[in-house]
């Protein structure tokens, strides 16, 4: 027995010495799992202990006998404190109510109504079989810092954990204040693994609005099957909360993502003229939008009731504009209101609605809105204007809020818009470079149903264009890929009877033929103008060709204006709104609903979803709604969104990527010997050549990212969140097209790379190319009129004589009225403007800590470096005199795909997302 006692004492001493060595070391390295109390362990468990080293480390074994037992002594867990540092973004400008509530919260914080934190470990507690949690800890310095005026404030909390806690994977925050706060990030310091980062960028609601603790996950990404045991429940519950139950009216503080049809564009309670069809469903297919749950209107149970400005539309709280963005947008909207307020008043007291002269248009930029109307200061003072407007007018005499910026189209050559080469150049380097196609059949053929729309044989003939083909025959020009077309015949013709019956609207279904010169520039060679056939045998089509005399010059100019008007409509309603804004919304809704914030694909997509739901909601409220800006300013009028829905029937996600779109339009062919594997048939095609560089950079970055997380197809197929996201995007978000066979499959890493590259391309570069040139090119109405009010005069028309007497007056009277022009200019000015908080491609918030994967951070820096290289290459191309579509006397450089920009309407810059 004495010998046994000696052995026990010796072993005990050994354990004490060993544990004293490991005690602090275990805490520092966060590896220790110290067991409680000395225990006797049968020898046959020896191997199991050693195999369990991953969860039970630094166990000291004292052998007593090979046959009996061995003695182990282990220490109790040691508690220690870690520090949480929360970065909260303050509101710069508070109203009185917000200031009072802030002070009340500071007082309440002192008496114990705090913001409380609780850490969640990656591990499960073996005793309770529940996730390990820390003790709750309040932020300890909120009341002291409540009066700080800085934009960002750091708050701290000391959180007590024990040495068995493991690595923190989530943090739960309970806001016991009355006011929400915007949490940018959290850093936990004190663990052996180093600082643990929690990117948040989210509003934390008061307990009154959200009774549960708000959960944020660390920046370590996990596929669903990799989720640590301690986080699995939180991951699933967070997604369940975000999806909601599909019931009830959404509050502005909610963070719930769900789907609905576009049944809120009309306002039947205002009268029959404000009734609009619901978009989405069998009758009129359309993508889905974010559900608000508002009550139905009083007169139509299927139409959602309206929320009119300035009341806010619901979008999930984190989707709303941040303060600097909201201020920039409000300033733009105020500018738009003021730009139209005075013209509206003048229009109501004056019969002179038309633009009288080109000099009157010029004065919009040089003298301002009021002066260009010929109003004297004493008349302004007599008008019943708000004091704010009067003061702004007085301050704008030297140039201020009521003066329009000179559009870029006028900056280098004031008369460039009149030239045919500039008219053609803008089809490949302007604000809508995605309509032009290679002409494959001449005359062009309509795809409309002849039983419904009659024979639609084109009036174009070889004799119309043969003199403009540089000595080629039409067949030769077709075979050598020299003929191109912008064909708006089939999209406009079904609507023309209704459009032309509207007051102040006149339109044709147009086709424009272009010839590719040896110099690499395009020239228009014929314009076909079509109307619905009124009676069998009546002439419904006419062809206008480049002019040979004064009269034909003005007719040609009018024909080009009608083409530009149609182009403006298709650009806005189809290429811009439908193909970037509306078609992206379902993918964004599904990402929030099905992908956890810790999912690597969510982290990849996150910057490309910013602000899109908010700007789309604002569009439903102010732009695309009944009698909204789009209906007032564009040719189709009240039929605008029906035209957009008609185009959706031909929308194909698999052809929305840039290479596929170029091939579909016949302007490129596959050629592995060429850069990007494509040969452009118009070599100097600025949008395409710059776009392909950005497309390839995005594709390379996405492929690197995807391959890192998905080494084989099994990982893709078995990722339940990923598959649910893609399936819901199609089956719910694009439900009306869910049965189409062209949807890409999602079975391996290549499939996923293609899908994600297309989404990121559409949200960033494609939207930028279509959006930020709207004011630079459209801000001068004659260059790009959004609507036309007169058809071309016919020799048999009574007004033909007035056209011959004063063709300039006739031309100006065919353009939008002064009020329509200024309203349109003000709106596209706002839409073309970058906000100060814009995030551009190659940048993202918390660049070093948005993910905990160092290899991916390094890959993102490589992507950023490639974007910077592309920007320099674009600058180089814009200085190359051989590229005549972007360099030359009076020619605007093509910068719409130049990645970076300052704030304002700069005609350049590629934001990460559809943010305006």
List Cβ neighbours of 345 (8 Å cut-off, separation of 6 or more): 383, 385
Q: Is 767 a catalytic residue?
A: yes
CA distance 191 to 267: 58
Query: Which one of the listed residues 393, 464, 767, 834 is annotated catalytic?
Result: 767
Most distant CA pair in the chain: distance in Å? 130
Instruction: Report the Cα–Cα distance between both ends of the chain, in Å, rounded.
Output: 85
CA distance 187 to 207: 23
Which DSSP symbol is given to 733?
A: I
Query: Which one of the listed residues 771, 783, 885, 912 is annotated catalytic?
Result: 771
Distance (Å) of CA 236 to CA 213, 316, 598, 628, 769: 15, 19, 11, 41, 38
Question: Do 431 and 774 touch, CB atoms closer than 8 A?
Answer: yes
Q: Is 916 a catalytic residue?
A: yes
Phi, psi (rounded to 5 degrees) for 233: -65, -45
Q: What is the DSSP string of 734-747?
A: TGGGTT-TTSPP-S
The encoded tokens of residue 557 equal 């100019």
Query: Which one of the listed residues 177, 571, 576, 834 is annotated catalytic?
Result: 576
CA distance 867 to 558: 42
Question: Do 186 and 137 touch, CB atoms closer than 8 A?
Answer: no
CA distance 782 to 557: 10
CA distance 649 to 742: 13
Burial of 649 (0-12, 13-18, 19+ CB in 10 A): exposed
Q: What is the DSSP string of 824-880?
A: HHHHHHHHTPBPTT--BTT--SSTTTSSS-HHHHHHHHHHHHHHHHHHHHHHHHTT-
- At residue 160, the 3 state secondary structure works out as strand
The residue assigned the tokens 């189709």 is: 636
Would strands 181-189 and 289-290 be described as parallel, antiparallel, or unpaired? unpaired
CA distance 509 to 496: 8
Q: Is 771 a catalytic residue?
A: yes
CA 569 to chain centre: 21
Q: Is 576 a catalytic residue?
A: yes
CA distance 718 to 150: 47
Which DSSP symbol is given to 284?
A: S
Query: Which one of the listed residues 120, 489, 581, 676 is annotated catalytic?
Result: 581
CA distance 646 to 635: 16
CA distance 828 to 821: 11
Catalytic residues: 576, 581, 767, 771, 916
């Amino acid at each position: 027995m004495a010998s046994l006692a000696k052995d026990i004492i010796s072993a005990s001493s050994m354990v004490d010495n060993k544990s004293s060595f490991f005690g602090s070391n275990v805490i520092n390295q966060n590896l220790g799992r110290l067991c409680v109390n000395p225990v006797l362990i049968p020898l046959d468990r020896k191997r199991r202990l050693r195999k369990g080293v991953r969860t039970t480390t630094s166990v000291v074994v004292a052998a007593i006998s090979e046959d009996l037992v061995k003695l182990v002594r282990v220490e109790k867990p040691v508690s220690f404190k870690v520090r949480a540092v929360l970065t909260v973004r303050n509101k710069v400008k508070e109203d009185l109510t917000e200031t009072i509530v802030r002070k009340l919260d500071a007082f309440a914080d002192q008496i114990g109504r705090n913001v409380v934190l609780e850490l969640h470990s990656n591990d499960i507690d073996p005793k309770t079989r529940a996730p390990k949690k820390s003790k709750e800890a309040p932020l300890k310095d909120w009341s002291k810092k409540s009066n700080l005026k800085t934009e960002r404030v750091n708050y701290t909390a000391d959180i007590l954990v024990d040495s068995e806690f493991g690595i923190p994977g989530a943090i739960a925050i309970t806001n016991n204040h009355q006011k929400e706060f915007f949490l940018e990030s959290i850093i936990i310091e004190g663990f052996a693994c180093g600082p643990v980062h929690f990117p948040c960028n989210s509003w934390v609601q008061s307990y009154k609005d959200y009774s549960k603790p708000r959960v944020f996950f660390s920046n370590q990404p996990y596929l669903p099957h990799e989720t640590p045991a301690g986080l699995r429940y939180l991951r699933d519950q967070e997604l369940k909360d975000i999806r909601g139950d599909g019931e009830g009216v959404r509050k502005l503080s909610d963070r719930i993502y769900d789907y609905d049809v576009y049944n809120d564009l009309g306002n039947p309670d205002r009268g029959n003229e404000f009734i609009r069809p619901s978009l989405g469903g069998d009758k009129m297919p359309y993508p889905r939008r974010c559900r608000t749950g508002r009550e139905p209107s009083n007169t139509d149970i299927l139409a959602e009731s309206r929320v009119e400005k300035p009341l806010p539309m619901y979008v999930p709280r984190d989707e709303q504009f941040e303060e600097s963005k909201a201020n920039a947008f409000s300033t733009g909207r105020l500018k738009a209101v003021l730009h139209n307020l005075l013209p509206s008043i003048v229009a109501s007291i004056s019969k002179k609605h038309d633009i009288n002269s080109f000099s009157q248009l010029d004065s919009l930029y040089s003298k301002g809105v009021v002066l260009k109307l010929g109003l004297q200061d004493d008349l302004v003072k007599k008008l019943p204007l708000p004091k704010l407007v009067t003061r702004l007018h007085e301050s704008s005499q030297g140039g201020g809020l009521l003066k329009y910026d000179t559009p870029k189209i006028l900056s280098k050559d004031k008369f460039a818009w009149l030239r045919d080469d500039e008219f053609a150049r803008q089809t490949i380097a302007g604000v809508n470079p995605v309509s032009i196609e290679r002409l494959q059949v001449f005359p062009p053929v309509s795809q409309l149903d002849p039983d419904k729309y009659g024979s639609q044989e084109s009036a174009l003939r070889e004799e119309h264009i043969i003199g403009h083909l540089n000595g080629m025959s039409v067949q030769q020009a077709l075979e050598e890929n020299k003929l191109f077309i912008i064909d708006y015949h089939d999209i406009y013709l079904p609507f023309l009877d209704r459009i032309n019956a509207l007051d102040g609207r006149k339109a044709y279904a147009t086709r424009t033929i272009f010839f590719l010169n040896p110099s690499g520039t395009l020239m228009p060679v014929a314009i076909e103008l079509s109307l619905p056939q009124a009676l069998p045998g009546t002439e419904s089509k006419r062809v206008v060709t480049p002019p040979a005399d004064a009269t034909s010059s003005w007719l040609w100019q009018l024909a080009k204006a009608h083409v530009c008007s149609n182009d403006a409509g298709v650009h806005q309603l189809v290429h811009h709104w439908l193909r970037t804004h509306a078609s992206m919304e379902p993918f964004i809704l599904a990402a929030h609903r099905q992908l956890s914030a810790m999912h690597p694909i969510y982290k990849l997509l996150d910057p490309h979803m910013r602000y899109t739901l908010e700007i789309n909601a604002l569009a439903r409220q102010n732009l695309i709604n009944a009698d909204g800006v789009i209906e007032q300013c564009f040719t189709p009028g009240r039929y605008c969104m029906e035209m957009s829905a008609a185009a959706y029937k031909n929308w194909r996600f698999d052809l929305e990527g840039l290479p596929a779109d170029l091939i579909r339009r016949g302007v490129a062919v596959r050629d592995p010997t060429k850069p990007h594997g494509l040969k452009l048939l118009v070599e100097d095609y600025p949008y395409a050549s710059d776009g392909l560089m950005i497309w390839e950079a995005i594709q390379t970055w996405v492929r690197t990212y995807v391959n890192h997380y998905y080494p084989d197809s099994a990982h893709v197929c078995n990722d339940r969140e990923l598959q649910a996201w893609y399936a819901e995007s199609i089956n719910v978000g694009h439900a009306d097209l869910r049965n189409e066979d062209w949807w890409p499959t999602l079975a391996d890493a290549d499939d996923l790379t293609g899908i994600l590259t297309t989404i990121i391309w559409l949200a960033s570069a494609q939207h930028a190319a279509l959006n930020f040139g709207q004011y630079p090119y459209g801000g001068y109405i004659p260059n790009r009129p959004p609507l036309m009010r007169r058809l071309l005069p016919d020799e048999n028309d009574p007004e033909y004589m007035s056209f011959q007497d004063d063709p300039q007056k006739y031309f100006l009277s065919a353009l939008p009225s002064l009020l329509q022009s200024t309203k349109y200019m003000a709106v596209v000015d706002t839409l073309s403007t970058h906000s100060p908080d814009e995030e551009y491609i190659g940048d993202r918030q918390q660049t070093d800590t948005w993910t905990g994967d160092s290899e991916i951070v390094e890959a993102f820096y490589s992507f950023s470096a490639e974007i910077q290289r592309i920007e320099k290459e674009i600058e180089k191309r814009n200085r190359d005199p051989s590229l005549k579509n972007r360099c030359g006397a009076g020619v605007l450089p093509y910068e719409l795909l130049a990645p970076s920009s300052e704030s304002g309407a700069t005609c350049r810059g590629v934001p990460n997302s559809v943010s305006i």
